[in-house]
Chain A
Amino acid sequence: MSDTSYNTTLANNTAVQTGGTVSDYLALMKPRVMSLVVFTALVGMIAAPGDFHPVIGGIALLCIAVGAGASGALNMWYDADIDAHMARTATRPIPRGRVSADDALLFGSILAVFSVLTLGVLVNWTASVLLALTIGFYVFVYTMWLKRRTPQNIVIGGAAGAFPPMVGWAAVTGDVGLESIILFLIIFTWTPPHFWALALYRCRDYERVGVPMLPVVAGLNETRRQILIYSLLLAPLAVSPWMVGLGGPAYLVISIIMGLAFICQAIRVYRIREGRSSDIHAKRLFGFSIFYLFTLFAVLLVEHTIERITG
Chain B
Amino acid sequence: MSEQTTEIMAERRRRQKTRSIAIALALLGLVVLFYLATIVHLGGNVANRPM
A contacts, CB < 8 Å to B? 14, 17-22, 25, 53, 55-56, 59, 62, 114, 118, 121-122
Contact = CB atoms under 8 A, between A and B. Distances in A.
23 contacts: A14-B8, A17-B12, A18-B12, A18-B15, A19-B12, A19-B16, A20-B15, A21-B15, A22-B19, A25-B19, A25-B22, A53-B40, A55-B37, A55-B40, A56-B37, A56-B40, A62-B33, A114-B30, A118-B30, A121-B34, A122-B33, A122-B34, A122-B37
Given A18-B12, A18-B15, 4 more contacts: A20-B15, A25-B19, A53-B40, A55-B40
A25 B19 CA distance: 10
A17 B9 CA distance: 9
Contacts of A55: 36-37, 40
Contacts of B22: 22, 25
B12 A59 contact: no
B29 to A, nearest CB: 9
Q: Is the interface of B mostly helix, strand, loop or mixed?
A: helix
| Residue picked from A18, A53, A114, most chain B C-beta under 10 Å | A18
Interface residues of B, number: 14
A6 to B, nearest CB: 21
B50 to A, nearest CB: 25
A21 B18 contact: yes
Contacts of B11: 14, 18
Contacts of A18: 8, 11-12, 15
A22 B8 CA distance: 17
A160 to B, nearest CB: 25
Contacts of B33: 59, 62, 118, 122
Nearest to A103: B19
Contacts of B40: 53, 55-56
A29 to B, nearest CB: 13
